[in-house]
Structure formats: C-alpha cells, structure tokens
Amino acid sequence: MPQYYVEGLFVNKHGVKKKHATGKYPPGSIEPYARSIWANSPKDAIQIATNELEGGEWTEGPKVSQVTEEQRMRSMGAPEFPGLSSRPASKSKRGTK
C-alpha cells in the first residue's frame, strides 16, 4: 500500500455554517491540511482526507502526490529561507588544549 501526501486548504465546520448564513467564509476558519496517508489509490487518499475534515469542506485542493512539497522544491533547487537550511555539524573545540 503506497503512501500519498494530501495537501490543501479547508474550511472548518464552524466556517461552513457561517458561509450558509452570511454567504462567505470567515477568515479565521480557513486552515491548511497536509498529511501523509496510506491508501490503495489517490482517490482513496482523497476520500480518507475528506472524512477527516469532520464537517468541513475544501476551498483549495486536495492535491495528492507521492512527494511532499518540500521534497519537490528541493529537487528543483529552489532557494531556502535564510537560517532555515540544515547546517553541517561543526567540530567542537572543547577539550583541546
């Protein structure tokens, strides 16, 4: 059974109720969704992710892939934010005289 990464934006249950009343989503009700799901197919992964929303609904997505967004961007050679890249381990100077 392969692992799929499901990513997207969804509105929580409270936001869905507000949309039915006012016609638009409240800004605080939109949340990101990014999880890895073990499923038989991408369609099954989307179905599992939709069930996890517990009354919410998708506003963007879901996007399904077998590579995370981070892995995809690193393979393209995209620049990283300063200070967030992993640094090589430095040699400790303690204990040397």
Domain membership flag for residue 91: no
Q: pLDDT, tens digit, for every residue of 41-62?
A: 999 999 999 999 888 889 887 9
Domain extent at residue 49: 3-76
d(CA 3, CA 36): 7
- Residue 97 confidence class, pLDDT cut points 50, 70, 90: low
For the cut 60, the answer to whether the pLDDT of residue 93 exceeds it is yes
Domain membership flag for residue 54: yes
Q: pLDDT, tens digit, for every residue of 67-77?
A: 877 788 888 88
38 or 71, which is more confident? 38
Domain membership flag for residue 60: yes
Domain membership flag for residue 96: no
| Local structure of residue 6 (DSSP, 8 states) | E
What pTM does this model have? 0.67
Q: Is residue 40 a contact partner of residue 62, using CB atoms and an 8 Å limit?
A: no
Sign for the pseudo-dihedral over CA of 37, 42, 44, 45: positive
- 84: helix, strand or coil: coil
Domain membership flag for residue 82: no
Domain membership flag for residue 52: yes
When divided into structural domains, the chain yields a total of: 1
Q: What does R_g of the chain's alpha carbons equal in angstroms?
A: 20
